Structure 1
């Protein structure tokens, strides 16, 4: 989810904590728990600072180890211990458990969007991306905002957020059923379907879809249950080409491949130089696929430059990649 929704969830879990008699009867513990749930609801996304290093490091690690099973326990422990150091008279067990819950909820809700997380680490490094809740979901955020306003106006926070999360749970079930119905339609209309990757948009009735079959990739759009194929590509395995072998050694290319479940590749030669490009098919904007990984090699297969990330124009590409020598 987006940062605003995660923080709103932290406030909501702090409100839920008033159902706990220990929290309800101790105003200082309540303040400590509220601080813990707000901090815990955002803590796993502290790995965003990795973007300051480079895109490859960010792509490989964002929502990775910081969203893992050990990290959930680590965040809960560190945050609650830090708060406890300032208010040592409160009940640490209750502070820790509510803080831990807020961290766990953060990781849990992130598995439902298209980006996903490595939430099952260290059991597996597989990305879990269920793809039926948008990263920015206006309904979920609006419900949290309404609950917070009701609390400020005097509503009982425990009861308010208990009802709110029951409604949100029903919403998740509804979105799951929407996706399941759509995937069933795809299997009925396409042959030899091997993988379907769904990306919900901010509009409830519109989805982006990438489909992998035995011999083709399809990029589609679903609106009100009607599926429209926008592009299709031959599915070709990576060739045993020297340029590809060199490209696969590059950290940007490796980061892209480790993250992208459906992509195609291109090899282009120009002025004695070779470009190897990998294109993620999950994202399509104005007939363009902006999420790519690119490496440029000279005629001796020495790397000139490389990049992975979002490119929406040729001008941006020139800024990201150093100009090729003449």
Structure 2
């Protein structure tokens, strides 16, 4: 998910806690924990500053997004609360753990995916059933804030907890639809990937059969249509590409499948899930 959504998740966790008997310093520790742990897995973005081997595509949302690292993130946040706020409350550890788990798990559902099982598996897990920026989340959390604003402090957590139930229902329904479309297209095509649209119930379904890549738009309430038909040069010399552009090899490892481009000017690969208006922003190539 995007940074705003992760921040809103943290604020919603903070809103879900009972704070009517907390002093100001404890409230600050809870707010810091909820928002900080909701953001900290994305600390991996700094790795691009020292990436000289084209590995950033696998580093980003890699080990920092592992489910096995989440208790360590929670412990780090807990220690910071001890140092800066002088608050010793073991519930902060569990709040931070929950926030980190929500971060890394929610990222599974968009097309970018995560290294959820690292270091035991390098597989990039992605479901593609929720867009990276999902405005439905924003509306649900905004609604909880609006409804709780004029309520007594003791009653406000109810609205945020209800928002979490609605969020879970939204993710579940989207994922069931995504599973339906994945199974439907898998019967006809050898490789299939999903990328959820910004409008709920709509999906881009990216298929590959030998060297033919087709991107469809489909949904429960709209007819199926073909957006793009692409050709992949499967006989191109990728080892030549990889030796001259290591980031291309990383992209191939990261993507479910790629489109290979080769002409008189260049050879390259791109991820068709991010193909828009004649190009994909995840494209690595070299000139001939």
TM range (shorter): 0.7 to 0.9
Give the alignment of 1:251-262 within 5 angstroms: 251-262=246-257
CA distance in 1, matches of 2:184, 2:127: 18
Q: Which residue of 1 aligns with 2:65?
A: 67
Q: Which residue among 235, 241, 244 is the counterpart of 1:247?
A: 241
1:195 pairs with 2:191: yes
1:6 pairs with 2:6: yes
For structure 2, list consecutive stretches of 5 or more residues without a partner in the other structure: none
The structural deviation recorded for 1:54 is: 5.9
Give the alignment of 1:261-280 within 5 angstroms: 261-270=256-265, 275-280=266-271
The structural deviation recorded for 1:8 is: 0.9
Q: Which residue among 15, 34, 38 is the counterpart of 1:37?
A: 34
Q: In the superposition, relative to structure 1, how do residues 64 and 2 fare at CA in structure 2: closer, same or farther (>3 Å)? A: same
The structural deviation recorded for 1:292 is: 0.9
Q: Which residue among 145, 150, 155 is the counterpart of 1:153?
A: 150
Give the alignment of 1:52-201 within 5 angstroms: 52-53=49-50, 56-91=54-89, 93-154=90-151, 156-187=155-186, 190=188, 193-201=189-197
CA distance in 2, matches of 1:221, 1:213: 17
SS at match of 1:269: coil
Cα RMSD between the aligned structures? 2.4
SS at match of 1:246: helix
Q: In the superposition, relative to structure 1, how do residues 238 and 30 fare at CA in structure 2: closer, same or farther (>3 Å)? A: farther
Q: In the superposition, relative to structure 1, how do residues 122 and 157 fare at CA in structure 2: closer, same or farther (>3 Å)? A: farther
Conserved? CA contact 1:29–1:95, under 8 Å: no
CA distance in 1, matches of 2:43, 2:223: 39
Conserved? CA contact 2:232–2:261, under 8 Å: no
The structural deviation recorded for 1:51 is: 4.0
CA distance in 2, matches of 1:197, 1:146: 32
The structural deviation recorded for 1:89 is: 4.6
For structure 1, list consecutive stretches of 5 or more residues without a partner in the other structure: 298-326
CA distance in 2, matches of 1:41, 1:232: 39
The structural deviation recorded for 1:222 is: 1.8
Conserved? CA contact 1:44–1:107, under 8 Å: yes
CA distance in 2, matches of 1:235, 1:284: 13
Q: Which residue of 2 aligns with 1:46?
A: 43
Conserved? CA contact 1:41–1:106, under 8 Å: yes
Q: Which residue among 212, 224, 227 is the counterpart of 1:227?
A: 224
CA distance in 2, matches of 1:80, 1:10: 15
CA distance in 1, matches of 2:142, 2:48: 29
CA distance in 2, matches of 1:200, 1:264: 20
TM-score (norm 1): 0.78
